[in-house]
Structure 1
Amino acid sequence: MKFFNYICLLLLAAVSSCSTTSEETAPLNETENLFLIQTLENDHHFLELYSESGELKEGYNKILLRLQDKIDKEYIPNAEVEWIPVMDMGTIKHSAPNSEVVKAPGKNTSYEGYIIFQMAGGDSGTWSLQINYTVDGENFSMEDRLQVLASPRKKVTVFKGKDEVNYVLAIIEPRQPKVATNDISAALYKMENMHKFSIVDNYRILIDPRMPAMGHGSPNNVHLTQGNKGVYHGKLNLTMSGYWKINLQLEDETGEIIIGEAITDTNQDSNIFFELEF
């Protein structure tokens, strides 16, 4: 009986060991739930761009990047990557607010960042993306055009405040709004020049959501204040499904409203806003 029990324990240990080894060696799917947007290339590497939709649109776009060696087909885990989005409108060119490209958390060969496209590509101009990167001390670059689609609802607003500063304000969340109190977040940048944008610190973004078709708003919203990584966060209460206009006011660090109007009985809209429909 002791010998039988000993054999059972050995078999149990073997099965457990195989299971653990299998789990530990399972390959990491670094693009799970993401779709390929497009692939850029030069003589040495491919660069794959991914997003949750497989598209780029006006407004905030979180993008995952993977760099692949053309010869051995291996993905590169140790690159230093920079990007420069450029809109060519024929007579002028400008860039777009964007983050640094960093190693994607929990992944081995993926990098991530975001770009806020102020406008769609089309007859008015064409977007391109320049990539500058370093692998093992050697510098490379590549560039290609991007297709940036128009958003069906307003997700980004560009304006000049009463302080004569040009701003770009883009909604980040909620991407999938629901009838509830939603987390709302937004990115706020000011234009230093046509090719440089910087995060705006210590402002407030005041929100007043309204359903124009129903003639009502919603209670218990929380204005957006700045949190980690420069992003602004608040609470957005959506009391029913349908089309919502999120009226906005921008308040500077002194408490002065530099753009946007309060909603009153005689004023039903602010001149800056986001739109949601679900």
Structure 2
Amino acid sequence: MKTIKIILAACILAFGFSSCNDDSDDPIIIDENPLAEFAMLATLTANNHSVEVYSEQQQFTIGYNELFLRIKDEVTDSYLTNADISWTPIMHMTEMMHSCPKSALSKTEDATVYKGFTVFQMPGNTEEYWELGLEYTVDGQTYNVSERIEVKAPADGKKRVNVFTGADDIRYVLAMMPLNAEVAVNDYSALLFRMENMMMFPEVANYKIKIDPRMPGMGNHSSPSNEDLTYDTSSKTYTGKLSLTMTGYWKINLKIENENGDVLKGEDVTEENESSSLFFEIEF
């Protein structure tokens, strides 16, 4: 997350000279939007409130989305700082509805800003669409608001999320975390969830995600010094190292093992098998 900038200045001038006509001046408060550098993706309006949804990205997209929310009281023209807030994204399909993996919403260092993430598995279209529902409580009063949002495929067309059924017959969602790729050994991370039902996607801990990065356009060569992704309890993500030896298009072949070492999905890359059925893509 970018550093949220807060500019808050208060100046109180008091003069004790008998020649002064004014005994004091009111405080001067300059309040700038701490999310001014982010893109506002949606505004949900109801209950005399406007819920503003921001992101570093320019759109709601398939895969991982870190989102920031502010709730504006339209009557007082101020932002709420004491709300308890939760959310439920719902995909309305022609024959069913389902949700997606998501975090809880939490407060940030700026009291008016709440943050969390969603992992959208699919884009919307003219007939099937995502709806973002929010429930929030302020001073003991609970409010609800929901609106349709537009979720699109990534602008670069690269694959950053996998939805698959494992060898254990469990449905999983695997999402790549944002990466500022460099020609170096990069810190690399992902999130793994299982589908408990159409609305619940709890995280999966203590599996292993093996990685094998390849450049299909360069003889399918790999790279040295990669480290498979293992579960980190503090961040609740799978972390490892991704070695990128040159710029261009990379396919990160994946293989997932459970706690017993059983392969749930993915295959080794060999001369006969150029890629795994489970993979992420990057190009830089």
TM-score, reference length from structure 1: 0.88
Question: Partners in 1 of 2:210 and 2:10 — Cα distance?
Answer: 52
Question: Partners in 1 of 2:256 and 2:82 — Cα distance?
Answer: 40
Offset from partner CA, 1:221-270 (integer Å, 9 cap, x none): 01111112421111101111111000000010111111100111211110
Give 1:86 deviation, angstroms: 0.4
Give 1:54 deviation, angstroms: 3.1
Partner of 2:106: 102
Offset from partner CA, 1:71-119 (integer Å, 9 cap, x none): 0111000101110000011211100000000002x21200000000001
Q: Name stretches of at least 5 consecutive residues in structure 2 with no aligned partner.
A: 1-8, 13-28
> Are 1:189 and 2:193 counterparts?
yes
Q: Name stretches of at least 5 consecutive residues in structure 1 with no aligned partner.
A: 1-18
Give 1:33 deviation, angstroms: 2.6
Partner of 1:52: 56
Match of 1:145 among 119, 143, 148: 148
- Asked whether the 8 Å contact 1:181–1:237 carries over to 2, the reply is yes
Give 1:29 deviation, angstroms: 4.4
Partner of 1:205: 209
Partner of 1:173: 178
RMSD: 1.8
Partner of 2:226: 221
Question: Partners in 2 of 1:205 and 1:123 — Cα distance?
Answer: 36
Partner of 2:21: none
- Asked whether the 8 Å contact 1:200–1:230 carries over to 2, the reply is no
Report the AA paired with residue 42 of structure 2: Q
SS at 1:54 equivalent? coil
Question: Partners in 2 of 1:272 and 1:78 — Cα distance?
Answer: 43
- Asked whether the 8 Å contact 2:64–2:178 carries over to 1, the reply is no
More helix by share: 1
- Asked whether the 8 Å contact 2:10–2:30 carries over to 1, the reply is no
Written as runs of structure 1 = structure 2, the 5 A alignment for 1:234-245 is 234-245=240-251
- Asked whether the 8 Å contact 1:191–1:198 carries over to 2, the reply is yes
- Structure 1 stretch displaced more, 263-272 or 162-171: 263-272
Report the AA paired with residue 225 of structure 1: T
Give 1:43 deviation, angstroms: 2.7
Written as runs of structure 1 = structure 2, the 5 A alignment for 1:32-111 is 32-104=36-108, 106-111=109-114
TM-score, reference length from structure 2: 0.87
Give 1:192 deviation, angstroms: 0.0
**Runs of at least 4 residues of structure 1 off by over 3 A?**
19-22, 25-29
- Structure 1 stretch displaced more, 26-35 or 126-135: 26-35
Partner of 1:156: 161
SS at 2:78 equivalent? coil
Report the AA paired with residue 223 of structure 1: D
Report the count of equivalent residues: 257
Partner of 1:273: 279
